[in-house]
């Protein structure tokens, strides 16, 4: 009998859970991301985090700042900074549209999730967002709770 090898459990989606609580998402766009070395393997294993990350436009390019990708444990070639800036892959026209929308007061680019598409390529879903006020956050919590209670009541009957 041959020994069965354990396959690592891959994570297909990494979410930024705080983003929808902290911001009102006005529009979304899916982009590619430029990674180096073994960063893709680390993301597949789920060692990445989008918390506290944001996107900026600098010199006509979109950059993802503060995305945490921990080092891949079997990589012995080069050590990369886990929170380095990573380039997002967008067409010039898309960048121009984003830049014109961002010039409006109070708008920002927030990564909502990272996922692998059907071809196995890592994609980032960015949201054009506006910060919520405290009362808006309370309203969204209240709406979510009532929705949950309604769902629970429907299941009982």
Residues paired with residue 55 on neighbouring β-strands, in sequence order: 64, 109
Judge whether 151 lies within some domain.
no
Judge whether 153 lies within some domain.
no
Judge whether 6 lies within some domain.
no
Total-model pTM: 0.77
Q: Check residue 33 and give its pLDDT.
A: 94
Which of 11-20, 21-30, 74-83 comes out lowest in average pLDDT? 74-83
Q: Check residue 9 and give its pLDDT.
A: 56
Q: Check residue 3 and give its pLDDT.
A: 58
Judge whether 152 lies within some domain.
no
Judge whether 147 lies within some domain.
no
Q: Check residue 96 and give its pLDDT.
A: 93
- Residues 56-83 as b/e (b if ≥16 CB within 10 A, e otherwise) read ebeeeebbbbbbebebbeeeeeeebeee
Per the structure block, which two tokens stand in for 126? 């960015």
Query: Span 31-49, mean pLDDT?
Result: 87
Burial class (CB in 10 A: 0-12, 13-18, 19+), 20: middle
Number of domains in the chain: 1
Q: Check residue 7 and give its pLDDT.
A: 54
Look at residues 108, 112, 123 and name the one whose alpha carbon lies nearest to residue 35: 123
Judge whether 33 lies within some domain.
yes
Judge whether 150 lies within some domain.
no
Judge whether 71 lies within some domain.
yes
Look at residues 47, 39, 52 and name the one whose alpha carbon lies nearest to residue 11: 47
Question: Which residue range(s) make up the domain with 37?
Answer: 13-132
Q: Give the chain's mean pLDDT.
A: 85
Q: Check residue 20 and give its pLDDT.
A: 86
Q: In CATH, what number is assigned to the domain containing residue 119?
A: 2.40.280.10
Q: Check residue 76 and give its pLDDT.
A: 65
Over the stretch 77-134, which tens digit does the pLDDT of each residue have? Answer: 777 777 889 999 999 999 999 999 988 887 999 999 999 888 888 999 999 999 888 7
In the three-class reduction of DSSP (H, G, I as helix; E, B as strand; rest coil), residue 51 is classed as coil
Of all residues in the chain, the percent with pLDDT exceeding 90 is 36
Q: Is the pLDDT of residue 66 over 70?
A: yes
Higher pLDDT, 128 or 38: 128
Q: Check residue 128 and give its pLDDT.
A: 93
With beta carbons less than 8 A apart as the criterion, state whether 33 and 124 touch. Answer: yes
């Amino acid at each position: 009998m041959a020994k069965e090898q354990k396959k690592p459990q891959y994570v297909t989606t990494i979410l930024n859970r705080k983003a929808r609580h902290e911001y009102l998402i006005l529009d979304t766009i899916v982009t590619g991301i430029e990674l180096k070395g073994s960063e893709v393997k680390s993301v597949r294993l789920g060692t990445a985090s989008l918390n506290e990350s944001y996107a900026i436009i600098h010199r006509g390019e979109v950059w993802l700042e503060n995305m945490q990708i921990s080092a891949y444990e079997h990589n012995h070639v080069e050590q990369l900074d886990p929170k380095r800036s990573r380039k997002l892959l967008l067409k010039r026209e898309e960048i121009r549209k984003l830049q014109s929308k961002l010039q409006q007061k109070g708008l920002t680019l927030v990564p909502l999730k990272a996922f692998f598409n059907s071809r196995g390529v890592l994609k980032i879903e960015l949201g054009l967002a506006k910060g919520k006020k405290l009362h808006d956050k309370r309203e969204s919590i209240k709406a979510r709770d009532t929705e949950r209670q309604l769902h629970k009541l429907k299941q009982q009957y």
